[in-house]
Amino acid sequence: MSTKASKMPGLRLRDGIWHIDKRIKTLPGGRLRESTGTSDLREAERYLTKRLEEIRQASVYGVRPKRTFEQAAIFYLDYNRDKKSILNDAMHLEQVMPFIGNLSLDQVHTGTLQSFIKARQANGIKSKSINNALGVVRHLLNQAASEWLDEHGLTWLQIAPKIKLLKIRDAAEAYPLDFVEQRRLLMALPAHLERMALYKVNTGVREQDVCGLKWDWEVKVPELDTFVFIVPGDVVKNEESRLIVHNSVAQSVIEESRLNRPSDHTDHCAGHRGNECDCARTFVFTYKGIRIGKMNNTGWKRAWRAAGLPVCPQYKRGVHNLKHTFGRRLRAAGVPYETRQVLLGHKNGDITTHYSAAELEELIEGAERVCGQSVHKTPTLTLLKRKMG
């Protein structure tokens, strides 16, 4: 088919697909250039007619073109491509796409999301997980109404609808361990996970921060004859640099890893092949000299059961319980709230790299209070667990 067959000016056939290249004064740059996505001339003409009417409506009356949620999702992923959680966002958008992908953007709201919600609930998905997906949809709609501008200077949406999240009534409870339970768990874990778990329960750091802990993040504190780690904000969940101080137990774990740190990259390290290093030369916690990707694996799950810890749905069984254990012990030991916030890495706006030696000493003393057997769960907490069991 030749381009001469076109009955409308502005259509050009390239590689079997009709493309629009038409002069329109009201557009920035004065031209409309885009693909019609079809090799059929009549269909291409209908598409061009539709686009011309959309442009006229927008320029004359301020009417926004109809865009589908799927189109918005594609734009969202590109617009936010540098976001740390963009892969998770993509997963959540993929989940909602069969339910709202073909809807126009202004048709997406709490009502039209009910089919997605009911389908996920029918599959036994927890409310928190459903809310994660709803939160991405809400963020997308808010950006479409406030940040995304089209060629006419109009936002993609005039106003973002309110997306109501579910009330969480089915979330599993955290299970902070006492020292007897901790001992049973550590004895059941493989050696490499035992070290990581002991470090985590004495520092309160998140799983990804333990797995990704690098020697380059270590900072010496000569005034106190100790060291800390500062995890950069670009790898921390709340995007604030994370200060990790060490009580005597956590410090001994680090020193053991230091003794086993190789002087150079190992032969099987990815860094040896010109890629990003994944060996014990760079990372604190490794297995057979290679970085450990996650703690909550089959070895952890097997040890949790072997230790006789609860496996009923009402309690969490993952490694995050160690963070809750650390926080619970800090509170039971009477560590002040502000100190607990810093030790647990909660977002507070402080610049963690600007602590004085005196402030660091106070933090270390707070962390040291959870080392011994003197900090047990209170009878009240034990009673609550018994009633809930």
Does 356 lie in the same domain as 307?
A: yes
Question: Does residue 275 lie in a domain region?
Answer: no
Q: Grade residue 58 by pLDDT with cuts at 50, 70 and 90.
A: low
Alpha-carbon span 28 to 81, nearest angstrom = 25
Does 199 lie in the same domain as 138?
A: no
**Residue 90 is encoded by which pair of tokens?**
């993509």
Question: Does residue 234 lie in a domain region?
Answer: yes
Q: Grade residue 381 by pLDDT with cuts at 50, 70 and 90.
A: very low
Does 364 lie in the same domain as 226?
A: yes
Question: Does residue 187 lie in a domain region?
Answer: yes
Query: What pLDDT, on a 0 to 100 scale, did the predictor assign at position 28?
Result: 60
Enclosing domain of residue 9:
3-61
Q: How far is CA 383 from the centre of its chain?
A: 34
Question: Does residue 343 lie in a domain region?
Answer: yes
Alpha-carbon span 120 to 134, nearest angstrom = 12
Count other Cβ atoms within 10 Å, centred on residue 161.
20
**Tens-digit pLDDT profile for residues 77-110:** 999 998 888 999 999 999 999 999 999 998 999 9
Alpha-carbon span 220 to 223, nearest angstrom = 9
Looking at every residue in the chain, the average pLDDT score rounds to 85
Does 222 lie in the same domain as 90?
A: no
Which residues lie below 8 Å from residue 350, measured CB to CB, with a gap of 6+? 342
Question: Does residue 282 lie in a domain region?
Answer: no
Q: What is the CATH number of the domain that holds 121?
A: 1.10.150
Q: Grade residue 348 by pLDDT with cuts at 50, 70 and 90.
A: low
pLDDT, average across residues 199-208: 94
Query: What pLDDT, on a 0 to 100 scale, did the predictor assign at position 189?
Result: 96
Does 384 lie in the same domain as 343?
A: yes
The answer to whether the predicted template modeling score (pTM) of the entire model surpasses 0.85 is no
Counting Cβ atoms within 10 Å, is residue 281 exposed (0-12), middle (13-18) or buried (19+)?
A: middle
What's the Rg (C-alpha) of the chain?
28
Q: What is the CATH number of the domain that holds 320?
A: 1.10.443
Alpha-carbon span 207 to 326, nearest angstrom = 13
Identify the DSSP state of 225: T
Question: Does residue 154 lie in a domain region?
Answer: no
Look at residue 135 and give its three-state secondary structure: helix
Does 120 lie in the same domain as 78?
A: yes
Looking at 33, 61, 89, the residue that finishes a domain is 61
Looking at 16, 42, 61, the residue that finishes a domain is 61
Does 353 lie in the same domain as 226?
A: yes
Question: Does residue 35 lie in a domain region?
Answer: yes
**Tens-digit pLDDT profile for residues 289-314:** 899 999 999 999 999 999 999 998 88
Does 324 lie in the same domain as 194?
A: yes
Does 27 lie in the same domain as 136?
A: no
Per mean pLDDT, which range of 34-48, 59-73, 218-232, 356-370 is the poorest?
59-73
Question: Does residue 198 lie in a domain region?
Answer: yes
Q: Grade residue 115 by pLDDT with cuts at 50, 70 and 90.
A: very high
Does 357 lie in the same domain as 210?
A: yes
Alpha-carbon span 229 to 212, nearest angstrom = 12
Looking at 23, 38, 61, the residue that finishes a domain is 61
- Number of domain units in the chain: 3
User: How does 329-343 read in b/e, with b if 16+ C-beta sit within 10 Å?
Assistant: bbbbbebeeebbebb
352 vs 162, more confident: 162
Give me the phi and psi of 103, to 5 degrees please.
-75, 150
**Residue 280 is encoded by which pair of tokens?**
């014990």
Alpha-carbon span 78 to 244, nearest angstrom = 34
Does 234 lie in the same domain as 318?
A: yes
Does 206 lie in the same domain as 126?
A: no
